[in-house]
Amino acid sequence: MSAQLSWQWPLDILHVSDLHFFGDPVLDSARNAAWRALCNDVAQRRRKGVVRPHIIACTGDLVETPSEKAFRRGVNALLELAEECGFLEESCAWQEGEERPPEAWWQLLNHRIFLIPGNHDVFASGLRILFLGKASGEWARITDPEGRVPPGRLEPTPAALAGPLAVRMIDSNGSRAFWKTARGSVDRQVDLAWPQDLGVGDHHFRMALVHAHPLQVPFFVQGVFDDEASLMMDNAGFLLKNLADLGVRLILHGHRHYPCCYTLSLQDSRDAIRSVAIVGAGSATKAPARWKYVSYNWVRIYPDQRVEVRILRRDPEAPAFSGFASPVAATLGDFSCERLERVVKVWNSFGDLEVTTRFSGLRALPGRPPVRCIPFERRVGSQVEYSARTLRGSAGSRQVAWDAAAGSLELDPPLDAAGGAIDLEVRHHLHGGAALTSWQALQMYGAGPGAGDREHQRYALEFEARDVSFEVHLGSRFSPPEPETCRARYHRPGQSTESQEADWNAATHVLALDRENPKPPVVLELEWPLPEAAAPEPGTSNSNQWASVRLALLAWQRSLLDG
């Protein structure tokens, strides 16, 4: 079974391309070794907390030539990668003799794994020549679980959502031709619009996957007979113009076996200038003749819509991947924030929480689109009451709404660079979110080392700001016997770190943790000791059995709050 989709900003996209599997152990020997090295590198980076894979984007040429055995190996390779990304709870594979991939593949496809066809996936040896038709049957075997795709069509799902990402999948292989070799094309009859029933909104980051590269790789062009001329996309301008109209901010492609990253300013049909990042992946298993490396990309999307690309490469003779000195800033963000404050108050005898988040000095950047939505915490399943308001800047006319299911703050009217800076405040209440005694903590969190002794609050920082403040207001009942018993942690998600003594104000009973210029994703934690207390007496309205059930439910709700 596949793991459930959840997310926190920033989002990491694992971009691989051009695997070119034959489905033969001998012919695939070197490619299998290269793929194992890539999977090991992904697993290592994930364990270290350097990345948190959100989706896998494979931009074509999964196989060398379309056949069942080749696609079986390609599907199993992506399932192996999905396991290393944490998308699978247990290993699975498409076994010989089975007509279609296993159920786990269909659960991941267009949810965690996004896949589009390359020329080698649909044309024999990747050649679009002699009016040969596409091998759509083999492609449909791995992309259409119910066999509904009519002959010649390759897109059972042209677009899908993955949390805050809207992904458009495009067949860039064109129709049959006499002598197009490996050139790409997007047929003009293809409707590139987002499906109306998909529900793509302003809060979605819009991206597209194609195989053929829409821009030339400049230093590979060496004359009219250079192979770059046989690999380009015929109508790239048509495609780019239409994707700009659709609000696409990121285009991922493969095909050239060489990684590249460009930022393009495109004028849409409403004369607005849109900045689009175009990112190409090298081959994950087959080093090109002129570069000598296999490679793959990590593409990170930040809450301000900034795109950052890290290209990782490996000499086939070397044991490990290495990256360039720093990631490539493919596009700038839409807005910036001076200060972010998070205040949590434990304010009554039920352990209720009042959580306030303040954005100070929030402004749209010049030359960027008006800001309609700001990514904010997603709350699904937990019952919260909230309020959101503008504290400074157009306070009388600007409305702010928190779409907790989508994870965004919606601004009406949108914020543009001419509007100056504004301050926002979002406040929500959570019933019974904190344990007040050691017995309650034991019921909420279970047994284990230190269980029942301490309580904590954590803040998974998704939003980049120049200054971040995290406070927990405990009240007089929580006065610790010694200030050093209050602890603070600051770490990457999934990483453990030694705690340090927290800032404790005995007069106000406030724990605090401040950081300058933190780089998300990071987690801020504050922890404090709890007073000892026995279980309630049986027969009372707050009996042991009833309290245990109630606290178990609160623990589940709290887990949603902690993410």
Asked if 310 and 298 count as a contact pair (C-beta separation under 8 A), the reply is: yes
| Spatial distance between the Cα atoms of 278 and 263, rounded to a whole number of angstroms | 6
Domain regions of the chain by residue span: 11-333, 336-562
| pLDDT for res 548 | 53
Q: Do domains 11-333 and 336-562 have the same CATH topology?
A: no
| pLDDT for res 404 | 80
Helix (H, G, I), strand (E, B) or coil at 47: helix
| pLDDT for res 396 | 52
Q: Which of 323, 318, 360, 327 is nearest to 341 (CA)?
A: 360
Q: Which of 92, 164, 140 is nearest to 380 (CA)?
A: 164
Asked if 57 and 160 count as a contact pair (C-beta separation under 8 A), the reply is: no
Tell me the residue ranges of DSSP E strands in 173-272.
179-181, 205-209, 250-253, 260-267
In the chain (563 residues long), the average pLDDT of successive 10-residue segments reads 69 97 96 97 93 96 92 98 95 94 95 93 66 69 71 65 94 61 67 89 94 74 54 78 91 91 83 87 89 94 94 91 82 91 87 91 89 82 69 69 85 89 89 83 68 82 90 82 83 78 89 91 90 67 49 53 48
Looking at the DSSP assignment, which residues form a beta bridge with residue 373?
Answer: 410
Q: What are phi and psi of 392, to 5 degrees?
A: -150, 140
The CATH architecture assigned to 336-562 reads: Sandwich (2.60)
Task: Please tell me what DSSP assigns to residue 502.
Answer: P
Question: Could you tell me which residues come within 8 angstroms of residue 257 by beta carbon, excluding any fewer than 6 positions away?
Answer: 18, 282, 283, 286, 287, 288, 291
Q: For the segment 531-542, what is each residue's pLDDT rounded down to a tens digit?
A: 887 666 665 544
What is the total residue count of the chain?
563
> 404-421 as b/e, with b when 16 or more CB fall inside 10 Å?
bebbbbbbeeebeeebeb
pTM (2 decimals)? Answer: 0.86
Give residue for tokens 């805050």: 164
Task: Please tell me what DSSP assigns to residue 519.
Answer: -
Question: Could you tell me which residues come within 8 angstroms of residue 332 by beta carbon, excluding any fewer than 6 positions away?
Answer: 275, 306, 365, 368
| pLDDT for res 284 | 95
| pLDDT for res 37 | 96
| pLDDT for res 543 | 47
Strands 467-473 and 339-346: parallel
| pLDDT for res 225 | 47
| pLDDT for res 314 | 95
Looking at the DSSP assignment, which residues form a beta bridge with residue 268?
Answer: none
| pLDDT for res 516 | 92
- Superfamily of the domain at 11-333: Metallo-dependent phosphatases (3.60.21.10)
| pLDDT for res 179 | 46
| pLDDT for res 545 | 47
CA distances (Å), origin 99, targets 61, 72, 76: 21, 10, 14
| pLDDT for res 379 | 67
Percentage of residues of the chain with pLDDT beyond 70? 80
Asked if 368 and 307 count as a contact pair (C-beta separation under 8 A), the reply is: no
Torsion (CA) 435, 437, 443, 446 in degrees, nearest 10: 90
